[in-house]
Amino acid sequence: MVFADGRALAYKPRPIDMEAAFSTILDWVNGQGLRYDHRSPQVLDRDGYGWMEWIDGGPVADAAAADAFYWRAGSLFALYRALNGSDLHSENLIAAGACPVLIDTECLLHPPPDALADRPDLPAITMPSVLTAGLLPLYTFAESGRRAVNLGALGPSCGPDGLEETTYLNAGTDWVLRTRKASPRSTAHLPRLEDRLLDPTGHVSALAAGYRETWSLLLHRRDWLLTAAGSPFAALRRARGRHMTRSTWNYGQLLEAARGPEGMADGITFSILFEALRRPLASLPAGYRKIAEAESRDLERLDVPRFAFAGDDRHTGDCQGRPLARLFAETPFEAMAGRFRAYDQAQVDYEATLIAAALHRPPAVARPTTEAPPTPRQA
């Protein structure tokens, strides 16, 4: 929504408790004397929905501002890791000059899958590592493996094309044809200087420094942050977030098949498509069976399923806020606090080293100068 004076808001038709809490945390961090302040989006939190300041992208002013961008990106990453954040990918970040801004933080306090309440016999599954959380380069492939696409929030864009999506040729005629076409790849999350995208390899020191310095602050104030009533973390105890039982991409694949000619042929075929959700249920807790039922209901309405949790509750709920199952052995806030307390400076330094390594280019591999020996003939 754009006002007459040019200001704009983004309407979010879901609870935005996490965005409101994260902005409060950023405001607190900005008052702690770190090297740079963050841009903290304004949030209007309402019951079940909300409004958020619209963030426009823009270039950095110079090389010093580029370093500031990457320092802030490392700092945001430290906060996201400390808060058990998940789903940090390119579509959730805007490069607004020297400030990277997270515009979707609904997956903070994400319940870890190794905290299943009634299946302690299942092997532990760790949260995404620093390399796979989404900020650093995270590659997938399109066109049957012929083209790489970086889904991460930082790193090379790998060209103008994104993933493939279904499109229709000759629509409205008897010669309509369904095909696959590469979607345009947004670069709103990538910093640029004038018309040139910045090479992150020149700023890995700033990125790692932002990560280390912010973690040092968090570790120094850890007890107060986790226990004090006046802590900026306190609102997270009541905050409602999104539980990612499966990735949106998985749901998208099912919906694409359901909307195709084969899925629309009859109701039985349409319903059978969603039975794939139930295949692993025999090895999962009973709560996941209720989740699968809710997934099927949402998908049959051609909606992407969304499951919710509260920071102080062990249950997960459906898109209407109705409780589905007691799924976890501890609350999401308790899981975050336990992981936070296990961190020390040695772990932070190790992860900062991994961050720097992930953005360095690998050394070029020299081609052999001699021909390979001939293959022996078969006798």
- Cα torsion angle, 122, 124, 128, 131, sign: negative
d(CA 327, CA 113): 10
d(CA 237, CA 225): 12
- What is the total residue count of the chain? 379
Angle between helix 345-359 and 204-220 (nearest 10): 160
The 10 Å Cβ neighbour count of residue 127 is 18
Structure tokens at 73: 């990106």
pLDDT at residue 115, rounded to an integer: 47
H or E element at residue 181: strand 177-184
The residue type at 58: G
d(CA 162, CA 89): 14
pLDDT at residue 323, rounded to an integer: 87
Residues 6+ away with beta carbon under 8 Å from 327: 111, 116, 117, 285, 287, 288, 291, 314, 315, 316
pLDDT at residue 171, rounded to an integer: 83
d(CA 178, CA 333): 46
Nearest alpha-carbon partner for 146 in 180, 117, 113:
180
Q: Point out the residues of the chain with pLDDT beneath 70.
A: 112-128, 361-379
pLDDT at residue 376, rounded to an integer: 45
pLDDT at residue 97, rounded to an integer: 96
pLDDT at residue 363, rounded to an integer: 57
Q: Is 198 helix (H, G, I), strand (E, B) or coil?
A: coil
Residue 152 · residue 135 · CB < 8 Å: yes
d(CA 376, CA 366): 26
Give the model confidence (pLDDT) of 37-51 as tens digits: 999 999 999 998 999
pLDDT at residue 95, rounded to an integer: 95
Residues 6+ away with beta carbon under 8 Å from 366: none
d(CA 171, CA 36): 52
pLDDT at residue 366, rounded to an integer: 52
Residue ranges in the chain assigned as alpha helix (H):
17-30, 63-82, 204-220, 222-227, 248-259, 267-272, 286-300, 332-342, 345-359
pLDDT at residue 329, rounded to an integer: 84
